[in-house]
A = this chain, B = another copy of it.
Amino acid sequence: MEENVASLLKKNGIKATPQRLAIYNILKNTKSHPSAETIYKGLSKQFPTMSLATVYKTLGLLSRIGLIQEINVGEDSFRYDANTAPHPHIVCLKCKRVDDVGGYDVPQSYDTIAKNTHYKILSHQLYFYGYCPECKKGE
């Protein structure tokens, strides 16, 4: 798996540095859709000298070659997801947690919408907002 990523980077003419692989692995091994800041803190033990700018640059890089996706839940900062297949997200309005939504998505046939809007449609994002299992208790 890690071999794959390394070679995929090289195929794109991008060096497979330890920092880049580490950032990708964090995303691959979590379901929590961390922000750049969160990833940065998570790597501070392993890479005490790494700069936040490196995290941002790497995330931009990985997004551009399609290894991860950037999601914007409408709050202050971006979140990142190594699951690049289209799938909806759900956001807790209280604790800002972001989860994947299974079992539902927009029909991938964009024909009707293209006809109505006259756009050429490439992708979509679907977000739900509410209270997560923990936070809804205190409502």
Residues of A within 8 A of B (CB): 70-74, 88, 90, 92-93, 99, 101-104, 106, 110, 112-114, 116-133, 136, 139
Central interface residue in A106, A112, A120, A129, by most chain B CB within 10 Å: A120
Check if B113 sits within 8 Å of A119, measured CB to CB: no
Closest chain-B Cβ to A104's Cβ sits at a distance in Å of 6
Closest chain-B Cβ to A68's Cβ sits at a distance in Å of 15
Check if A101 sits within 8 Å of B128, measured CB to CB: no
Check if B104 sits within 8 Å of A120, measured CB to CB: no
Q: List the B side residues contacting A121 at CB < 8 Å.
A: 90, 128-130
Check if A120 sits within 8 Å of B130, measured CB to CB: yes
Q: Provide the bound-state CA to CA distance between A116 and B130, in Å.
A: 14
Check if A112 sits within 8 Å of B103, measured CB to CB: yes
Task: Name A116's contact: one of B104, B116, B124, B129 (CB within 8 Å).
Answer: B104
